[in-house]
Structure 1
Amino acid sequence: MTPLLAFLFLHESIKPKQIIGLFIAAIGLAFIASNAGSITAVPLPALLLTLSAAFFWALSNIVLKFASNKAEALGEKIDMLGVVVWTSLVPPIPLYIFSFILDGPDVMLKTVTSLSAISIFSIFYLAFGATIFGYGTWSVLLGKYPASKIAPLSLMVPVTGLLSSQIILKEQLSTSQWTGGFIILLGLIFSTLDIKSLIKFNKV
């Protein structure tokens, strides 16, 4: 979604191969979502929430890139890591409210007082691995390069998620999930690989 929004709001150019690559990757995502060969295998509310999350992530990329472009035009530079740190203060508020409404205070208190070693490790991983390192690196790249060039790399998220679930959690992946991951990789390669330069390099 980010390349399309970047084209609409930031007037970044989008090449036909990028559109084709994203379309191929979308087919791969459909395979992963289907899980058993049918899109109904994923509950509709879950699918809609996932698509909404993807849209708002794309929108946040555009806002961040717009701010970076404005700062660059003024001869300044945004501290992308600082942006990630400060914006991380926002999500806990609505999440806390939703947890209070859906789970109740008793469940929340029990969760906090009975943290396991895995839970603590997960918290540190999300805080430092995923947020500081992951989103920090992503934001720095987004500030340096066009959003339409960086955004397709996010297609690796479901692929790495599936592989991690198999390696760490010993989950068994279905044929449709393997197929979807392979199709996503094909779409990513097609949209990012400079075929003309590769042909010239081979001729040399």
Structure 2
Amino acid sequence: MRTKSILLYLLIFTSLLSLITMTYAYFKASNNYVIELNLGGLSLNAYISFDGVYIDQDSPYYDPITQTVIVEAFDASKPNYIEHLKIDITLSSKIASKMRFMIKDEWILTRTFNPDAMYPMDPVIESIYFSEQSDIYFPYSYLKKGDLSLFKFHDDGYAYYLPTIDKNETVMINLISGGKPYLVRENDLYVETCVIRIGLEVELVQANRFYEIWGIDQTFYQS
């Protein structure tokens, strides 16, 4: 008799101030045939604000196509300035679960050249990469961690929530609290600007199957 196991998996990018119920269950038979069912087993809310002012899906600082938040990285006069950014989430599950998340931030530098120069040039757009920062920042980023004292960072880029989320328990987490501005340059030849696009990936799995699904050691939460 073939046995079947249930694998609960969720992959969510940030959806602002809206309730998400997108839990997927995979029933895996021994022949690797997979049937996908939408069980609606998880609820997640994301709350994103600048200086205490919350934004929604109609905000100019949210891109609904890429599902990313747009943040000003250098100009402190802008409403979406990086030092004013805060991202919180609340989530709950219908089964005991383990949770992990990953921040996906892209820092985009635009260099616009003086149109009156002798040899005008088209703007140059490039991505910025950082070296490892101090522990108050996310790895290789200028984004500041929120209250992540109950998280453990792994080499795979994910931050793992150490407690088990019990059935029907609601958890609130402060993910990001501001960040460090990027120093742009301005001279007679060109002017630089910098914006950040931030995406959020959240995964929940059945608590007793985290090692099987995520491919990490069974003793990960004990070390």
TM-score of the alignment, normalized to the shorter chain, above 0.5: no
The normalised TM-score by structure 1 is 0.24
Greater share of residues in helix: 1
The normalised TM-score by structure 2 is 0.23
Greater share of residues in strand: 2
Greater RCO (Cα-Cα under 8 Å, separation 6 or more): 1
